[in-house]
Structure 1
Amino acid sequence: MENHTESTTVSHSSSELGNHSDLTVHVFNSSSELLEKLHQRWSTVEKKPYPAMYSSIYGGIILDPAMMVIPIDDHMVHRGHGVFDTAIILDGYLYELDVHLDRILRSAAKAKISLPFPQSTLRSILIQLTAVSKCKKGTLRYWLSAGPGNFLLSSSGCPTPAFYAVVIDDDFSQCKEGVKVITSTVAMKPPLFATMKNVNYLPNVLSVMEAEEKGAFASIWVDEAGYIAEGPNVNVAFITKEKELLMPLFDSILHGCTAKRLLELAPRLVEQGILKGVTIKNVTVEEAKGAAEMMYVGSTLPLLPIIMWDDQPIGKGQVGELTMALSDLLWNDMVAGPDTKRIPVPYIE
């Protein structure tokens, strides 16, 4: 009986090998051949979605999308040892670049990633990259990595950290339609990782996929104490029935730059008598679901109305007036805010 089992196993294994005996993996013997293959992917693309990339590994700006690559032994790739941030490009201006730059430096410090350049140099690179891209509307995303070097856990063998950035052409607009959300069953990140914007976004990805599988747009994380935390890559805010703007504490979640700007601008509506007040505190699920209005807060939205949560309407189940008043406040700041928030991009026509 034992011999029969062994014989069957060997036979099965041989059969599997036979099924793939005609497979020959191609070997690229020259860089020119490989480059030709890489270009095939982009040969039918009419408009490049990524008009420009910067790589400190290359030491410059890349315009060929086929060459916008990162070394496989970069520790950000195989160990997740990297942080990132973003900025909005709108009407030829970079919105809140300095605030986002400050945050990526804080994230890098928490992740024990040293800087390849001073902050002023990083800023200059990003502005020049945007100018070369000629993109007038989109997003600028950038990463600080422990860098390439080997496949170990420790980055001590990496000669130098790396800085990457890419311009993404994106015709976004102010969100005015409401969406449905669910409570995520995916475990949220612990505070150490949630408060730094690192590249370990698998929980975020799974929470969005879970929502999509249930016919929702995205999800809401609730912490172990039963308080509202955040969305998968956005903050969340509420309008109470007393017309008060309510946001969860940022102690254990990412303090979004757009959320921070919203809190700076919202008092204007209080002064006008439109809002009753602004409060940041622990928010229970019961309190949140009993709100009159609810919204996501994030860079390109800038506010996304939420009209239903776990198949339960929020308020009247419609986009709220105060949500849109706050959204208009943020959008106008993006379009025509102060010079301290909007950096003109020096395009070369």
Structure 2
Amino acid sequence: MTSQYAYIRGTFVPLEDATINIRTHAFLYGTAVFEGIKAYWLPEENRMAAFRLKEHYQRLIQSCRIIGLQHPLDVDAMIDITKELLHRNHCNSATYLRPIIYKSDLRIGPILKVPHTHDDFCLFSVPMDGYLDTSNGIKVGVSSWRRLDDNAIPARAKVNGAYVNTALAKTDGYASGFDDVVVLTNEGHVAEGSAMNLFLVRDGKLITSSITDNILEGITRSSVIELAAKELGLESVSRTIDRTELYIADEAFFVGTATELAPITSFDHRPVGDGAIGEITKKLRDLYSKAVHGLLPDYHHWLTKV
């Protein structure tokens, strides 16, 4: 088997050597931010391409700004490292990339900014065709765990420590027989999935939670909105969503980098529409798949080719 590499502390190292000290601040306190990025094999070009790589690294830097980390590299440098890692790891199928900027100090105490503090960048890749089996749609429940608030740990930033919230919600959802969950805001409105943005279809329009309802400003979310408008002529409305709207939606689906587009066939054991994957959902899933695999020329600018 070909050796796999990761990037850490300014260099490429064998994956098994990409380790951190147990006293690392990010390990002790969750003081890190990350991105999930997907790269795909382009069948017509016989090479890999990463999807919306620049936008992901711009958002990573925004996450740093929100929690007070210093990004040691700029966007172009992180893009170059990503392309080199895909090359070194001989990636030739769908691949998930996890870049992290983390507080690398070896110290006790949660304060982020102290004299001589240091933040580092690391990156690794893993093969990933699908995060969930979504071929027949997924069953979703509404979680009793509420989404973290913008004034607590902001969902707008992909903060490592915040994903305990996701873990609690998703674990309880699995235990209750659901494939995933919807989480609500503290006010009781729909935020998003455990780690995915949500879309409903009602009366031929796409409805998705407002970015002020404690959601991640998703890159897949914005991609689907653009595809829906340009390719299908569908309007997307971002607004506050009530829980009971889930039960009367004509169609529903999650979107996210790892999940891509996951059709939802039931909420809280109530079928969505007729309980089958809806036609708009099918069309958007097909369009998104074609876009990420380089089969829609109008969206080649979304791809960073390796």
TM norm structure 1: 0.79
Counterpart check, 1:203 vs 2:165: yes
* C-alpha distance in structure 1 between counterparts of 2:265 and 2:2, whole Å: 35
The one-letter code of the counterpart of 2:209 is: P
The one-letter code of the counterpart of 1:89 is: A
Check conservation: 1:236, 1:294, Cα contact below 8 A. yes
Deviation at 1:171, TM superposition (A): 2.8
* C-alpha distance in structure 2 between counterparts of 1:172 and 1:313, whole Å: 24
* C-alpha distance in structure 2 between counterparts of 1:263 and 1:81, whole Å: 32
The one-letter code of the counterpart of 1:172 is: G
The one-letter code of the counterpart of 2:224 is: L
SS in 2 for 1:258: helix
Match for 1:99 among 55, 60, 63?
A: 55
Structure number, greater radius of gyration: 1
Mean CA deviation greater in 213-222 or 122-131: 122-131
Deviation at 1:158, TM superposition (A): 5.5
SS in 2 for 1:71: coil
SS in 1 for 2:221: helix
The one-letter code of the counterpart of 2:185 is: D
Q: Structure 2: 5+ residue runs without aligned partners? A: 42-47
The residue aligned with 2:13 is: 62
Question: Which structure shows the higher strand fraction?
Answer: 2
Counting only pairs closer than 5 Å after superposition, residues 221-232 of structure 1 correspond to structure 2 as 221-232=183-194
The one-letter code of the counterpart of 2:146 is: A
Deviation at 1:93, TM superposition (A): 0.8
Counting only pairs closer than 5 Å after superposition, residues 33-72 of structure 1 correspond to structure 2 as 51-56=4-9, 59-63=10-14, 65-72=15-22
The residue aligned with 1:148 is: 105
* C-alpha distance in structure 2 between counterparts of 1:230 and 1:317, whole Å: 20
> Pairwise CA RMSD of aligned residues?
1.8
* C-alpha distance in structure 1 between counterparts of 2:244 and 2:231, whole Å: 26
* C-alpha distance in structure 1 between counterparts of 2:146 and 2:134, whole Å: 28
The residue aligned with 1:120 is: 76
Q: Deviations over 1:169-224 (max 9, x none)?
A: 22339943211111111132112421111001111001111011011111101223
* C-alpha distance in structure 2 between counterparts of 1:260 and 1:310, whole Å: 27
SS in 2 for 1:151: coil
Counting only pairs closer than 5 Å after superposition, residues 20-39 of structure 1 correspond to structure 2 as none
Counting only pairs closer than 5 Å after superposition, residues 1-349 of structure 1 correspond to structure 2 as 51-56=4-9, 59-63=10-14, 65-91=15-41, 92-136=48-92, 137-155=94-112, 156=114, 159-172=117-130, 175-192=134-151, 193-200=154-161, 201-240=163-202, 242-251=203-212, 252-271=214-233, 275=234, 277-336=235-294, 337=296, 338-345=299-306
SS in 2 for 1:141: strand
Check conservation: 2:24, 2:107, Cα contact below 8 A. yes
| Highest RCO, 1 vs 2 (Cα 8 Å, sep ≥ 6) | 2
SS in 2 for 1:332: helix
Mean CA deviation greater in 223-232 or 196-205: 223-232
Identity of aligned residues (%): 21
* C-alpha distance in structure 2 between counterparts of 1:268 and 1:175, whole Å: 25
TM norm structure 2: 0.89
Deviation at 1:269, TM superposition (A): 4.2
The one-letter code of the counterpart of 1:229 is: A
Q: Structure 1: 5+ residue runs without aligned partners? A: 1-45
Deviation at 1:157, TM superposition (A): 5.2
The one-letter code of the counterpart of 1:54 is: Y
